[in-house]
C-alpha cells in the first residue's frame, strides 16, 4: 500500500430524507477515503446509515424523499455530486460497480442471466453481439460458475443463491470498474457460501487491482477480508483505522462494546455482554454524542451530553470520535478523507498544545 | 405443461357447470312463472299451461321422476284434439290439460292431451292430485237412479257437428255438475260427466268409456326420461346455444350474428384505445413521478374515476347533439359510433391510468431496478425495458379479463345511443322478461370470462419464465 | 484488552437516561388514526362524508315522520304539483323542479339517504359474510376451501352488473320471509351477493398466511381448538381487511344502485333515488333542462370522490402493502 493517492474521497457527506414524520438525517457528516486496491469495510448495526452512504456514492438515493444535502464525493479527483446525469451513468458500472444484498430480487426475473450481463457490457465496453456474449461467458467463468456456456441462458430463478450473487458480481465487473461497492453481499447466504463469495471477492480484488468497499454488520467478515475498517453509528463514523489495529485496540466505546459482545476463543465468560439500550431512531437522536445514553463512560458526562465529537486522529492512522478517548483532546484535526502526507507523524503545524476546539458542533474541513 | 392445462380445463369446466347451476337457479327457480308476462292480462289456466308446455316450463325442475295423465286420440282424424268445459268450467282448467303432438310406439303421429307432471300418480290417488288441490266437482250428490253418469254422443255423429250436449240442469240453486267435452280429431265430441269423480282411477274409467276412440292412461316415469327436466334441458341449451328468444323466436346464434357486430364495433375500438392510451399516460406519469405532472395526472384520474358513468354518457350525447344532432343517436352512419366509443375511452381512462400507474410504480420499487441503475442503465430504458416487461403480467390479466365486456359490458351505452347490440338486447329482455335470451347471454358472458381466465393462466406461464417450467 | 464494565442501570440510580425509543408502542389502530388525523385531505373528505351522513339522517327522519303524518309533513310520493313542473332554479326551488313539480333539491337530499343506506346495508351483509367464509376457507382448507373457492369463482365469472341485473330479474316475483324483494331490499341482497366475494378473497389469502405463523402453531400445540384460534388469533388480524373491504364496497354499492335505479331495477316505484332522477332526466338535457341531472350527478360525484379519497388514505394507513387493491 505504497500508493497514498485516494481513489475515492468522501468528504462531509450528508444525506437527508424528508419523510412525513420529519427530517431524517441518515448520513450526517461522514469522511473517509479508499485507496486503490484496498478493501475498505464500513461496519455498523442496521439503521446506522451505512447502506445510505454506499447508495449516496453512486447517487442512487431516490430524490423526492431523499437528498444529498452536503458534501463532496471525489472519485479520482472529480466530484461525483456535480456530474451530469449522463456522465454519472457512465461512472455507474464503468468506474464504480455495486452489488446488493438480496441476489434473487436484485436480478430481473424475466431476462436471462446472460442478457443482463451483456447489457452491462454493451453499456460500458464497445462490444457487439457475439463478442459481448463471449465476454459474458468468460466473466461467468471468472466468478466461479461452472458450465458458463449453459448457465448464460438460464434465468435467475434457476440458480442457487450463491450462484446468483456470483452473477451479480459478474454484472458489476463487466464494465471494468475500479471500485466495487458490496452492500452486505453475504448476509442473505448460507455460511459456507458466504466464505466462497468472500474468497471470490478477495481473489478478484487482487487479480484486477480492484478496490472494494464492503458494507457489513458482521465483524467476522471484516476480519477475513478488510484492510481498513470504519465503524459507523447513528449517521456518523465512530472509529476508522486499519483492521489489525481495530481488533487489537478498539478505542471508541461503541467499538469496544461490539467486541465485548462477540464470543472469543479462549475467553472465559458466563455471558456475553451486550450494549444496553437500542440504536436511536433518526427522528429522535440524543443531544451531544449520539452514543452517550448507552456509553459506559460518557452516559452522564456533561461534555458527552452536550457536544458531539468528530473524527480526530488520536493515534497515527487511527481516528476516533469520542471526547473521552485517550489522545482525543490533543489530537490534530486531520481529515480522514484526505490522503495522509508522506510522514505518518502529525505535521508540526498541528502539534500545538490543545485548547478544546472552540466550535460546539462538528467541524469537517481540515 | 400438458397436465397443468388439463387440470385447468377441468377446473374451468367445473366453474362453467357452476355458472349453469346459478343461471338455472336465478332464471328458472327463483324467477318463477313468467307466463303471465307473455300472455296478457287474464290468461286462463289452460292458456298458461299450454304456453308453459310449449316452452318447456312445465317440466319438473331437477329430474323427471314424475308421472303424467295422458289422453290419446285414436280416431286418427285431421282436426286437432281439444278439450273444453261446460257448466262451471272447472274441468279442463282444473286438469290443466295441454295439447301435444306425439309419436306413440306404433308409428304414426297421434295427438294427445297431457296433464301436469305429478310424482307418484296412481289410480287410487284422490282426484285432487291431478287438479293441484283445486276442487274438480261440486260436493258429490246423489243422482237420480236412472241417470247415467256418463253421456256420450252417438258414435256416428257426422263430423262438423259442434253441438255440445246440454248440461244437465240440476235442482234449482245448486251448481251445475261439471263436465268436460273432448273434441276428437274426427270431429266428434265426447262428453265426460265429472260429477262424483273422487279418484284418478274413476276419472280414467270415465275417459276410457269408449276405448276405440280414446285411451287415457298414466304415463309412468322411465329411466330414459329421467333427464327430461328443466335443469338438464337448461344445461343442454346453454352448451349448445340453442335457446330461442320468446319474443322473436330467433336462436341465440342468429341473434349473436345479428347484433354481435354492433357491440363489437363499439367495444373493440373503445377498449383498445382505452388501454393503449392509459398505458401511455401511466408510463408518462410514472416517469415523471413526484413532479407536478404526476400530481395532475393522479388528480385527473381520480376525478375521472368518480364521475358517474351515466354522467359521461348523457353529457357526451348532449355535447354531440349540440354539434350535430343527426350523429347523436342511432346507427345509420358510422360517425354515430364515434360518440359512444369516445365516451367509453374517456370514462374508463381514470381508473385504468390509476391502476397502471400503481402497477408500474410498484415495479419500480423492486430491487432489480436498483441493480439496473447501478449498472448505468438510463431511466427510459429502465422503464421501458426492465419495468414494463415485468408489468405486462398484471396488465395483460386485466386486459384479458375485460374481454367479456367486449360483448356485454356496454349495456348502458348501447341502449342509450340506440345501438342494436347485445347489451341493448339484454336490457330489453329484462323489460319483456325474455328469459331464454337473458339466460343465454349471461351464460355466454360467464363462458367467455372463464375462457379468458384460462387464457390468462396460459399467458402467465408463457410470459413469466418462473412459471414456465412447471 | 477491554474489561467488563458495570451497566449504569445496575448501579444506584443516576440521571435518568432519555428513552432511546420515540414514544410508547402503538397499535395498528392508534397508528392509523394518528396518520389519518395528520392527513389534511383525509380530514376534509371525512368532513364531507359527515355532512352527507347528517343530511341523510335528516332525510331518514323526515321520511319517518312524514310516513306517520307528524308535523304535517308530506311524504315524498304525495308531493306532486303539476303546475310548477319543469321549472329551472329559482328562489322557491333552489335547484328547480322535476316533471311532476317536485323540488329537485329535496329529491337530491332523499337520494343521499338512499345511497348511504344502500352502501351501509349491503356491506353490512356482505362484509361479515365474506370475512366468515374467507376465514373458514383459509383456515380449514381442503374441502371447505374447495367448495368456497368454487362458489366464488363461479359467481365472479359473471360480470358484476350483469349478475346484479339477473338477480333483480329473479327477485321480481319473489318475496322472502315477508320482505318484498322487488324494491330496495332486493338491491341490498343482490349487492351483498355480488360483493362478498372481494372480502372473502382478501381474508382467505391473509388467513392462509396467518395459519402458518408461529404463534398460531404454538396455540394449536397448546391445545387451542380451531374455533378458539379463529376467534382469538385470526379474526383480530383480518379485521382491518374488513374495514378496507367495507370502504371499497361502499362506493361500489352507491354506483351500482344508481345504475340499477336508472334501469328501473332499483328502488320501488314510488321512491326516488339519484338513479331514478337521472332516468327521468334522461331526455331533458337536449331540451335544455339541466338541473335535475346535474344536481343528482354532482351530489353523487362529490360523495364518491370523498369516499374514494378517504378510502385510499384509510387503506394506506391500515396496510400500505394493499395499495394495489
- Tell which residue, B265, B313, B254, B278, has the closest CA to residue B436: B254
Q: How does the average pLDDT of chain B come out, rounded?
A: 79
HSE at residue B418, side-chain half, CA atoms within 13 A, is: 10
Into how many domains does chain B fold? 3
Q: How far apart are CA B227 and CA C232, in angstroms?
A: 49
Cross-chain residue pair A64–B290, CB shorter than 8 Å: yes
Q: For residue B91, is pLDDT > 80? A: no
Q: Does residue B261 lie within any of the structural domains? A: yes
* From B178-187, B229-238, B251-260, the region with the lowest mean pLDDT: B178-187
Cross-chain residue pair B368–A109, CB shorter than 8 Å: yes
- Number of cross-chain residue pairs from A and C with Cβ atoms under 8 Å apart: 40
Nearest to A284 among C2, C14, C22 (CB): C22
DSSP string over A134-192: HHHHHHHHHTT-SSHHHHTTS-GGGS-HHHHHHHHHHHHHTT--SEEEEESTTTTS-HH
The answer on B329 and B185 residing in a single domain is no
Cβ contacts of C265 on chain B, cutoff 8 Å? 430
HSE at residue C208, side-chain half, CA atoms within 13 A, is: 11
Q: What residue of B is the nearest CA neighbor of C294?
A: B311
The answer on A269 and A130 residing in a single domain is no
pLDDT at A141: 93
User: B23 CB near a chain C CB, below 8 Å?
Assistant: yes
User: How, if at all, do strands A39-43 and C179-180 pair?
Assistant: unpaired
The answer on B73 and B56 residing in a single domain is no
pLDDT at B158: 43
Cross-chain residue pair A98–B374, CB shorter than 8 Å: yes
Q: Which residue has the higher pLDDT, B251 or C6?
A: B251
Q: Does residue A241 lie within any of the structural domains? A: yes
Residue B159 near residue B75 (C-beta atoms within 8 A): no
Q: How far apart are CA B211 and CA B215, in angstroms?
A: 6
Q: What is the pLDDT of residues B180-197, one digit of tens each?
A: 888 887 888 888 877 777
Q: For residue B313, is pLDDT > 60? A: yes
Q: Does residue A116 lie within any of the structural domains? A: yes
| Domain interval for residue B95 | 66-154+179-220
The answer on B235 and B195 residing in a single domain is no
Handedness of CA B310, B316, B317, B319 (dihedral sign): positive
pLDDT band for position C297 (cuts 50, 70, 90): very high
* From A140-154, B82-96, B231-245, the region with the lowest mean pLDDT: B82-96
Q: What is the pLDDT of residues C20-66, one digit of tens each?
A: 333 344 466 777 787 778 888 889 999 999 999 999 999 888 888 88
Q: What's CA B99's distance to the chain center, in Å?
A: 24
Tell me B127's DSSP state. Answer: G
Q: For residue C304, is pLDDT > 90? A: yes
Cross-chain residue pair B442–C157, CB shorter than 8 Å: no
The answer on B430 and B320 residing in a single domain is yes
C-alpha cell at B402: 375485460
Q: For residue B149, is pLDDT > 60? A: no
The answer on A192 and A102 residing in a single domain is yes
Cβ contacts of A80 on chain B, cutoff 8 Å? none
pLDDT at B353: 92
Q: Does residue B22 lie within any of the structural domains? A: no
Cross-chain residue pair C323–B358, CB shorter than 8 Å: yes
The answer on A240 and A164 residing in a single domain is no
Q: What is the pLDDT of residues C67-76, one digit of tens each?
A: 777 776 677 7
* For residues B390-409, average pLDDT: 76
* From A261-265, A329-333, C9-13, C190-194, the region with the lowest mean pLDDT: C9-13
Report all structural domains of chain C as residue ranges with CATH numbers, in order of start. Answer: 38-77+105-323 (1.10.3720.10)
pLDDT at A177: 93
Q: What is the pLDDT of residues B322-362, one digit of tens each?
A: 887 777 777 777 777 888 899 989 988 988 899 899 888 88
The answer on B306 and B207 residing in a single domain is no
| Domain interval for residue A95 | 35-51+85-229
Q: Does residue B15 lie within any of the structural domains? A: no
The answer on A316 and A245 residing in a single domain is yes
The answer on A211 and A128 residing in a single domain is yes
pLDDT at C325: 39
Q: For residue B135, is pLDDT > 80? A: no
pLDDT at C17: 32
Q: What is the pLDDT of residues A98-117, one digit of tens each?
A: 999 888 889 998 899 999 99
Touching subunits for chain C (3+ Cβ pairs under 8 A): A, B
- Tell which residue, A45, A48, A68, has the closest CA to residue A58: A68
Q: Does residue A128 lie within any of the structural domains? A: yes
Q: By percentage, how much of chain A surpasses pLDDT 70?
A: 91
Exposed/middle/buried for residue B432 (C-beta within 10 Å: 0-12, 13-18, 19+): middle
Domain finish residue from A320, A335, A350: A320
The answer on B84 and B45 residing in a single domain is no
* For residues A220-229, average pLDDT: 90
Q: How far apart are CA B64 and CA B85, in angstroms?
A: 30
Q: Does residue B247 lie within any of the structural domains? A: no
The answer on B439 and B404 residing in a single domain is yes
C-alpha cell at A47: 439503521
Cβ contacts of B463 on chain A, cutoff 8 Å? 110
Reported in sequence order, the residue ranges of C185-294 that DSSP labels E, i.e. its strands, are none
Q: How far apart are CA A362 and CA A335, in angstroms?
A: 12
Q: Crossing angle for the helix pair C104-140 and C235-262, nearest 10 degrees? A: 140
The answer on B87 and B61 residing in a single domain is no
Q: For residue B38, is pLDDT > 50? A: yes
Q: Does residue B19 lie within any of the structural domains? A: no
The answer on A40 and A189 residing in a single domain is yes
Cross-chain residue pair C323–B321, CB shorter than 8 Å: no
Q: Does residue B246 lie within any of the structural domains? A: no
The answer on A97 and A114 residing in a single domain is yes
Q: For residue A96, is pLDDT > 90? A: yes
Q: How far apart are CA A273 and CA C7, in angstroms?
A: 10
Nearest to A273 among C4, C14, C15 (CB): C4
Q: What is the pLDDT of residues B359-369, one digit of tens each?
A: 888 888 889 99
Q: Which of residues 115-174 of C touch B (CB under 8 A)?
A: 150-151, 153-155, 157-159, 161-163, 165-167, 169-174
Q: Does residue B12 lie within any of the structural domains? A: no
C-alpha cell at C301: 360525484
B197-220 as b/e: b if 16+ CB within 10 A: bebbebbbebbeebeebbbbbbbe
Q: What residue of C is the nearest CA neighbor of B454?
A: C157
C-alpha cell at A195: 466464505
Q: What is the pLDDT of residues A33-92, one digit of tens each?
A: 998 889 999 998 888 889 999 999 999 988 778 889 889 999 988 899 999 988 999 999
* From B162-176, B320-334, C221-235, the region with the lowest mean pLDDT: B162-176
Q: What is the pLDDT of residues C86-121, one digit of tens each?
A: 777 777 778 888 887 788 888 899 999 999 999 999
Cβ contacts of A22 on chain C, cutoff 8 Å? none
The answer on B452 and B355 residing in a single domain is yes
Q: Does residue B11 lie within any of the structural domains? A: no
User: B307 CB near a chain C CB, below 8 Å?
Assistant: yes
pLDDT at A107: 92
Q: Does residue A240 lie within any of the structural domains? A: yes
Q: For residue C12, is pLDDT > 50? A: no
Largest Cα separation within chain A, whole Å, is: 68
**Which CATH number do you get for residue A191?**
3.40.50.300
Q: For residue A345, is pLDDT > 70? A: no
Nearest to A299 among C4, C8, C21 (CB): C8
pLDDT at B103: 55
Into how many domains does chain A fold? 2
pLDDT at B101: 66
B421: how many CB neighbours lie within 10 A of its CB? 27
Q: Give the gap in angstroms from C-alpha B445 to the nearest C-alpha of chain C.
A: 7
Cross-chain residue pair A294–C20, CB shorter than 8 Å: yes
The answer on B261 and B215 residing in a single domain is no
pLDDT band for position C174 (cuts 50, 70, 90): low
The answer on A188 and A90 residing in a single domain is yes
Q: Most A CBs within 10 Å: which of B362, B368, B369, as the mutation test of the A interface?
A: B368
The answer on A241 and A145 residing in a single domain is no
The answer on B236 and B322 residing in a single domain is no
Helix (H) / strand (E) containing B68: strand B66-73
The answer on A305 and A251 residing in a single domain is yes
Quote the pTM value: 0.78
pLDDT band for position B161 (cuts 50, 70, 90): very low
Q: For residue B148, is pLDDT > 80? A: no
Q: Does residue A1 lie within any of the structural domains? A: no
Q: What is the pLDDT of residues A231-274, one digit of tens each?
A: 999 899 999 999 999 999 899 999 988 888 887 777 777 777 78
Q: Which residue has the higher pLDDT, C271 or C299?
A: C299
Q: Does residue A103 lie within any of the structural domains? A: yes
User: B374 CB near a chain C CB, below 8 Å?
Assistant: no
Q: For residue B164, is pLDDT > 60? A: no
The answer on A298 and A172 residing in a single domain is no
The answer on A142 and A89 residing in a single domain is yes
Q: For residue C276, is pLDDT > 50? A: yes
Q: What residue of C is the nearest CA neighbor of A299?
A: C17
The answer on B232 and B213 residing in a single domain is no
* For residues B143-166, average pLDDT: 43
**Which CATH number do you get for residue B374?**
1.10.3720.10
Q: Does residue A333 lie within any of the structural domains? A: no
Categorise residue B341: left if φ over 0, alpha if ψ from -120 to 50, beta otherwise: alpha
Nearest to B367 among A86, A106, A172 (CB): A106
Tell me B119's DSSP state. Answer: E
pLDDT at B52: 82
User: C17 CB near a chain A CB, below 8 Å?
Assistant: yes
Amino acid at each position: 500500500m505504497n500508493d497514498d493517492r485516494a481513489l475515492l474521497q468522501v468528504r462531509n457527506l450528508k444525506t437527508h430524507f424528508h419523510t412525513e414524520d420529519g427530517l431524517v438525517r441518515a448520513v450526517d457528516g461522514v469522511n473517509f477515503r479508499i485507496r486503490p486496491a484496498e478493501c475498505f469495510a464500513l461496519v455498523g448495526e442496521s439503521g446506522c446509515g451505512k447502506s445510505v452512504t454506499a447508495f449516496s456514492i453512486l447517487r442512487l438515493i431516490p430524490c423526492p424523499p431523499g437528498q444529498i444535502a452536503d458534501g463532496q464525493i471525489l472519485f479520482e479527483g472529480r466530484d461525483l455530486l456535480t456530474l451530469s446525469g449522463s456522465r454519472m451513468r457512465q461512472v455507474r458500472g464503468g468506474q464504480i460497480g455495486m452489488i446488493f444484498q438480496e441476489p434473487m430480487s436484485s436480478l430481473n426475473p424475466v431476462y436471462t442471466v446472460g442478457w443482463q450481463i451483456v447489457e452491462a457490457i454493451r453499456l460500458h465496453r464497445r462490444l457487439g453481439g457475439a463478442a459481448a456474449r463471449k465476454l459474458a461467458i468468460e466473466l461467468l467463468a471468472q466468478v466461479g460458475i461452472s458450465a458458463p456456456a449453459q448457465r448464460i441462458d438460464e434465468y435467475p430463478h434457476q440458480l442457487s443463491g450463491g450462484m446468483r450473487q456470483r452473477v451479480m458480481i459478474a454484472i458489476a465487473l463487466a464494465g471494468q470498474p475500479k471500485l466495487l461497492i458490496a452492500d452486505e453481499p453475504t448476509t442473505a447466504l448460507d455460511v459456507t457460501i458466504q466464505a466462497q463469495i468472500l474468497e471470490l471477492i478477495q481473489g478478484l480484488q487482487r487479480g484486477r487491482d480492484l478496490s472494494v468497499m464492503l458494507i457489513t454488520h458482521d465483524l467476522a467478515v471484516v476480519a477475513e477480508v478488510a484492510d481498513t475498517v470504519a465503524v459507523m453509528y447513528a449517521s456518523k463514523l465512530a472509529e476508522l483505522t486499519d483492521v489489525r489495529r481495530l481488533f487489537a485496540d478498539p478505542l471508541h466505546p461503541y467499538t469496544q462494546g461490539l467486541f465485548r459482545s462477540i464470543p472469543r476463543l479462549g475467553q472465559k465468560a458466563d455471558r456475553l455482554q451486550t450494549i444496553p439500550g437500542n440504536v436511536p431512531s433518526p427522528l429522535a437522536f440524543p443531544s451531544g454524542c449520539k452514543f452517550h445514553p448507552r456509553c459506559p463512560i460518557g452516559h452522564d458526562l456533561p461534555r458527552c451530553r452536550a457536544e458531539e465529537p468528530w473524527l480526530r486522529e488520536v493515534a497515527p492512522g487511527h481516528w476516533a470520535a469520542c471526547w473521552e478517548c485517550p489522545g482525543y483532546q490533543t489530537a490534530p484535526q486531520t481529515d480522514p478523507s484526505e490522503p495522509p502526507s508522506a510522514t505518518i507523524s502529525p505535521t508540526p503545524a498541528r502539534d500545538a498544545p490543545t485548547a478544546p476546539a472552540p466550535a460546539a458542533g462538528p467541524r469537517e474541513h481540515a | 405443461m400438458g397436465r397443468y392445462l388439463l387440470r385447468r380445463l377441468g377446473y374451468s369446466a367445473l366453474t362453467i357447470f357452476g355458472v349453469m347451476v346459478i343461471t338455472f337457479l336465478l332464471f328458472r327457480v327463483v324467477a318463477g312463472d313468467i307466463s303471465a308476462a307473455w300472455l296478457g292480462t287474464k290468461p286462463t289456466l289452460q292458456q298458461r299451461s299450454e304456453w308453459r308446455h310449449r316452452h318447456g316450463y312445465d317440466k319438473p325442475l331437477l329430474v323427471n321422476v314424475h308421472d303424467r295423465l295422458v289422453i290419446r286420440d285414436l280416431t286418427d282424424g285431421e282436426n286437432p284434439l281439444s278439450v273444453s268445459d261446460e257448466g262451471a268450467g272447472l274441468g279442463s282448467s282444473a286438469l290443466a290439460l295441454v295439447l301435444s303432438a306425439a309419436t306413440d310406439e306404433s308409428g304414426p303421429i297421434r295427438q294427445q292431451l297431457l296433464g301436469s307432471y305429478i310424482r307418484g300418480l296412481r289410480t287410487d290417488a284422490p282426484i285432487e292430485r291431478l287438479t293441484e288441490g283445486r276442487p274438480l266437482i261440486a260436493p258429490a250428490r246423489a243422482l237420480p237412479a236412472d241417470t247415467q253418469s256418463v253421456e256420450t254422443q252417438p258414435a256416428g255423429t257426422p263430423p262438423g257437428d259442434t253441438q255440445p250436449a246440454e248440461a244437465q240442469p240440476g235442482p234449482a240453486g245448486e251448481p251445475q255438475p261439471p263436465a268436460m267435452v273432448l273434441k276428437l280429431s274426427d270431429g266428434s265430441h265426447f262428453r265426460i260427466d265429472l260429477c262424483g269423480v273422487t279418484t284418478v282411477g274413476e276419472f280414467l274409467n270415465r275417459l276410457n268409456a269408449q276405448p276405440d276412440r280414446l285411451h287415457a292412461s298414466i304415463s309412468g316415469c322411465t329411466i330414459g326420461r329421467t333427464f327430461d327436466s328443466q335443469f338438464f334441458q337448461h344445461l343442454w341449451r346453454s352448451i349448445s346455444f340453442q335457446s330461442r328468444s320468446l319474443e322473436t323466436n330467433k336462436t341465440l346464434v342468429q341473434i349473436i350474428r345479428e347484433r354481435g357486430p354492433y357491440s363489437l364495433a363499439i367495444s373493440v375500438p373503445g377498449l383498445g384505445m382505452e388501454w393503449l392510451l392509459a398505458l401511455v399516460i401511466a408510463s408518462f406519469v410514472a416517469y415523471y413521478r413526484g413532479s407536478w405532472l404526476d400530481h395532475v395526472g393522479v388528480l385527473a384520474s381520480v376525478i375521472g374515476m368518480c364521475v358517474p358513468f351515466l354522467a359521461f354518457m348523457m353529457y357526451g350525447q348532449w355535447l354531440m347533439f349540440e354539434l350535430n344532432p343527426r350523429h347523436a343517436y342511432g346507427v345509420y352512419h358510422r360517425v354515430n359510433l364515434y360518440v359512444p366509443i369516445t365516451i367509453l375511452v374517456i370514462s374508463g381512462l381514470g381508473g385504468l391510468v390509476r391502476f397502471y400507474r400503481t402497477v408500474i410504480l410498484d415495479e419500480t420499487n423492486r430491487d432489480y431496478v436498483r441493480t439496473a441503475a447501478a449498472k448505468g442503465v438510463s431511466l427510459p430504458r429502465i422503464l421501458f425495458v426492465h419495468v414494463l416487461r415485468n408489468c405486462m403480467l398484471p396488465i395483460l390479466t386485466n386486459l384479458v379479463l375485460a374481454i367479456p365486456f367486449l360483448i356485454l359490458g356496454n349495456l348502458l351505452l348501447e341502449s342509450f345511443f340506440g345501438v342494436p347490440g347485445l347489451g341493448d338486447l339484454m336490457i330489453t329482455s329484462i323489460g319483456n322478461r325474455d328469459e331464454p335470451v337473458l339466460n343465454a347471454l349471461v351464460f355466454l358472458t360467464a363462458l367467455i370470462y372463464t375462457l379468458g381466465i384460462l387464457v390468462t393462466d396460459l399467458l402467465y406461464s408463457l410470459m413469466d419464465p418462473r412459471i414456465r417450467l412447471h | 484488552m477491554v474489561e467488563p464494565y458495570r451497566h449504569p442501570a445496575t448501579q444506584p440510580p443516576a440521571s435518568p437516561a432519555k428513552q432511546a425509543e420515540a414514544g410508547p408502542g402503538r397499535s395498528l389502530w392508534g397508528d392509523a388514526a394518528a396518520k389519518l388525523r395528520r392527513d389534511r385531505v383525509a380530514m376534509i373528505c371525512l368532513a364531507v362524508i359527515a355532512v352527507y351522513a347528517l343530511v341523510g339522517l335528516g332525510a331518514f327522519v323526515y321520511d319517518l315522520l312524514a310516513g306517520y303524518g307528524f308535523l304535517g309533513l308530506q311524504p315524498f310520493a304525495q308531493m306532486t304539483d303539476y303546475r310548477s313542473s319543469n321549472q329551472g332554479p329559482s328562489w322557491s326551488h333552489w335547484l328547480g323542479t322535476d316533471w311532476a313539480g317536485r323540488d329537485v333539491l329535496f329529491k337530491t337530499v332523499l337520494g343521499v339517504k338512499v345511497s348511504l343506506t344502500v352502501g351501509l346495508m349491503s356491506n353490512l351483509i356482505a362484509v361479515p359474510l365474506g370475512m366468515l367464509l374467507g376465514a373458514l376457507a383459509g383456515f380449514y382448507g381442503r374441502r371447505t376451501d374447495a367448495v368456497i373457492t368454487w362458489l366464488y369463482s363461479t359467481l365472479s365469472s359473471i360480470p358484476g352488473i350483469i349478475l346484479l341485473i339477473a338477480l333483480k330479474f329473479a327477485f321480481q316475483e319473489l318475496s322472502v320471509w315477508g320482505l318484498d324483494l322487488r324494491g330496495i331490499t332486493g338491491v341490498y341482497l343482490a349487492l351483498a351477493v355480488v360483493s362478498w366475494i372481494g372480502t372473502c378473497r382478501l381474508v382467505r389469502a391473509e388467513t392462509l398466511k396467518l395459519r402458518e405463523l408461529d404463534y398460531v402453531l404454538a396455540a394449536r400445540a397448546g391445545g387451542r381448538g380451531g374455533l378458539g384460534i379463529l376467534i382469538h388469533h385470526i379474526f383480530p388480524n383480518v379485521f382491518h381487511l374488513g374495514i378496507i373491504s367495507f370502504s371499497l364496497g361502499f362506493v361500489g354499492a352507491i354506483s351500482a344502485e344508481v345504475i340499477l335505479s336508472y334501469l328501473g331495477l332499483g328502488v320501488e316505484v314510488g321512491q326516488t333515488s339519484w338513479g331514478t332522477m337521472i332516468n327521468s332526466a334522461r331526455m331533458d338535457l337536449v331540451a335544455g333542462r339541466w338541473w335535475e341531472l346535474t344536481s343528482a350527478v354532482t351530489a353523487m360525484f362529490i360523495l364518491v370522490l370523498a369516499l374514494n379519497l378517504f378510502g385510499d388514505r384509510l387503506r394506506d394507513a391500515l396496510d400500505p402493502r394493499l395499495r394495489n387493491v
